[in-house]
Structure 1
Amino acid sequence: MQKKILAAVVASMMAGQAMAVTVVDNGTDKVTIGGHVGMRYVDQTDGEAAGDSSRINFGFEHKLTEATTAFAKAEWGFDTTNSGEGDFFFNRLGYVGAKNDQYGSISFGKQWSSYYTVAGWTDVMATSGGNTAGVYSELGDELGTARADDALQYNHSIMGLNISLQAQLGERDYSESEDELSNDKLDVVKRTVIAGTRDSSYGIGVSYDLPMGLTIGAAYNQAEVDVTGTVYESSKDPVTADGSYKAKSAAVAAKFEADKIYAAFTYAKLDNLNDKYLGFVEEAEGVELYARYQLNEMFRIGGGYYQLKDESSYTGAVNKGEIKYFPVEVVYTQGPVQLSGTYEFQDSVKVGTTKSVDDKLILQARYYF
């Protein structure tokens, strides 16, 4: 049996079939393998090649009764440009659970958050967007808004109402070393994180499917954080977070799906955000808007508007910084191959300065299996 599974895995990898490949399905047990390998070229002042979130995942199901199924999923990302420094593989997901046709599902482990069930509607571009609604903060996994660590989650859909409830169990320690935030050229914030602990967190996502393809929703996540010394320095006032604070993320969103059209909008209100571009932000507002049109079976075009604004009441700040850009994309899909080109019209401002951020061109090649 094990030899047959291994042979199927190797065959599926070599064949490069699109989407997840089912390697076992005997009516009781099911095993699938999926993922993709990708590369991208980014031109923003200086051009460079980089990996494209390559990953491999394994899904498992076992039928307990006619209506109840146990499941598990594990996913690892890998860096196609790794030159021997750092980890080649890194964990993205890993959870187990059970689902019932009548009562919904319960799962435990590292999984996409309840907050993401709503705030993720605008995180659908091929290479851009999705980073201004508080999902992918510096501590998104630890605090429960992204791929939440240690998460106990319940999900259920009934008569168009979709509910997701989440609690992160146990404490989670984190520590960072001093570095410069240089992502996307927003590089003037110096960060020093000595240590911190997430004591607890909870999240909820609720949405309702209306007729004609419209869905509306709201999500909330709150984490209790203890820190022993977190400092962000720039030409704005230094921000020190000692003791404890509550990291809060609240979002409302809507999406529309019909035939060849997809459109979504997200508004987020964020307190005590650890943002990897803007540093520690006491109060922020995020807006995300995306729309696309499927031209034919192979081509689609899309565009969006993404903004994250620091609304904190610092004194003496030269500039609090802002993320603001307008991406447009063309995506080509043929079988397991995806090629895309995205251009970001940037209107962002570097923290502590009046300097704007350069426009960005992103070219992507991805192969699904």
Structure 2
Amino acid sequence: MKKTLLAAAIPALLLANAASAVELYNVEGNTFALGGHLSAGLTGSDNGNTEVNSVSPRINIVATRDLGNGFVADAKAEWGLNFLDGGENTLSTRLGYLGLTHDSLGRAVVGTQWAPFYDAAGVADMPLAFADDFLYEDHYNLGTARAEKMVSYRNGFDLGNAGALSFGLAWQGEHDEYDTRGQAALTYKVMDFSANAAYSAGDVANVETTSSLVSLSYGSYGSGLYAAGVYAENENINSFFGTGPTAADSTATELLLAYAFANSLNVSVNYENVENDDDGQGTLSSTSALQVEYNFLPNVVAYAAYQVDLGNDYASDNNVWAFGGRIYL
């Protein structure tokens, strides 16, 4: 096996969205950076509800320390900001972890983090306004997107002209009604294509909850043509927008097609469908959205989106629109 891919991946892993991070300190490989973004806009629906909203505003700090012998330690703390409303709930934890990375030995992370499962599942979770809602049902506990109190390990191998292979493993401990959970993810990349698979399992209140997922992607979102598709088979995970009852068996599909022009205009269309497979009980959610994003500057972006409700068997249709802007710190 050839040299691992961690050397190339370290900057992205440590400074997650480096374009939005301001490096305040860098001495002999020891760094400290401040990042995040704020957004504000309007959202409304056919039901007549129009309000000011913000799309996942956050602030984070990242520090790295060169430990020598090829080891780099890092720490990240990220908080969601509730800056549109007054009151006490201004900050909420999104991420908080310690990591250790070595070029050939891989990367280990402990804390609240993006899970290895999301490495495969998140390939279509790209547009600012509307994307993979099905991944975020109880995701901190189930580890389908961000995951609390997780231990993870990732590594990868360069296969030369045959591409590259990477994998991730993760574990979450028992707490409250959640038993221990484990997950694994695998990614194969060749040229601009990637094929991914992931599996997560563990009991909740003595009921088995699992997700088996495969995905494909082509290109890089925000640079020319990008296409991605995700398909998941879930057991006791998906419900109708987080309300009960939870489907014993469900399938989720997410498709994304986007094109970014040379003038920084990015146009995308996505489709998401979640089916309740319990005795053919019908559709939990089905939507499609046309979205436009435009970068006035690398750290200033405007967005507009319209999501069409394609119908479900649990509530009346409700089309949703949104527009606004984001400034990266």
Q: Is TM > 0.5 for Structure 1 vs Structure 2?
A: yes
In the alignment, structure 2 segments of 5+ residues that lack a partner are 1-17, 159-163
2:320 is equivalent to residue 356 of structure 1: no
**Highest Rg: 1 or 2?**
1
2:42 is equivalent to residue 41 of structure 1: yes
- Structure-1-length-normalised TM-score: 0.78
Distance (whole Å) between structure 2 residues aligned to residue 321 and residue 81 of structure 1: 34
2:189 is equivalent to residue 209 of structure 1: yes
- Structure-2-length-normalised TM-score: 0.87
2:63 is equivalent to residue 52 of structure 1: no
Query: Match of 1:257, as an amino acid?
Result: G
Query: Match of 2:237, as an amino acid?
Result: L
For residue 67 of structure 2, the aligned residue among 61, 64, 68 is 64
The alpha carbon displacement at 1:214 in A equals 0.5
Show the 5 A alignment for 1:1-369: 19-44=20-45, 45=47, 46-84=49-87, 87-132=89-134, 135-137=135-137, 139-159=138-158, 160-169=164-173, 171-173=174-176, 197-211=177-191, 213-226=192-205, 244-257=206-219, 260-275=224-239, 277=241, 279=244, 280-313=246-279, 320-335=282-297, 336-349=299-312, 351=314, 355-369=315-329
Query: Match of 1:329, as an amino acid?
Result: Q
Runs of 4+ in 1 over 4 A off after TM superposition: none
Change (3 A) 1:166 1:342: same
Distance (whole Å) between structure 2 residues aligned to residue 87 and residue 274 of structure 1: 28
The alpha carbon displacement at 1:340 in A equals 0.5
Change (3 A) 1:47 1:301: same
In the alignment, structure 1 segments of 5+ residues that lack a partner are 1-16, 174-196, 227-243
Change (3 A) 1:276 1:367: farther
User: Aligned residues: percent identity?
Assistant: 25
C-alpha RMSD of matched pairs (Å) = 1.7
SS of 2:120's equivalent?
A: helix
Distance (whole Å) between structure 1 residues aligned to residue 119 and residue 284 of structure 2: 25
- Contact 2:254–2:273 (CA under 8 A) maintained in structure 1: yes
Distance (whole Å) between structure 2 residues aligned to residue 89 and residue 276 of structure 1: 27
SS of 2:84's equivalent?
A: coil
- Contact 1:328–1:342 (CA under 8 A) maintained in structure 2: yes
Deviations 1:17-72 (A, max 9, x none): 96101001001311111100111311102211122211001111000115110111
User: How many residues are paired up?
Assistant: 300
Query: Match of 2:235, as an amino acid?
Result: D
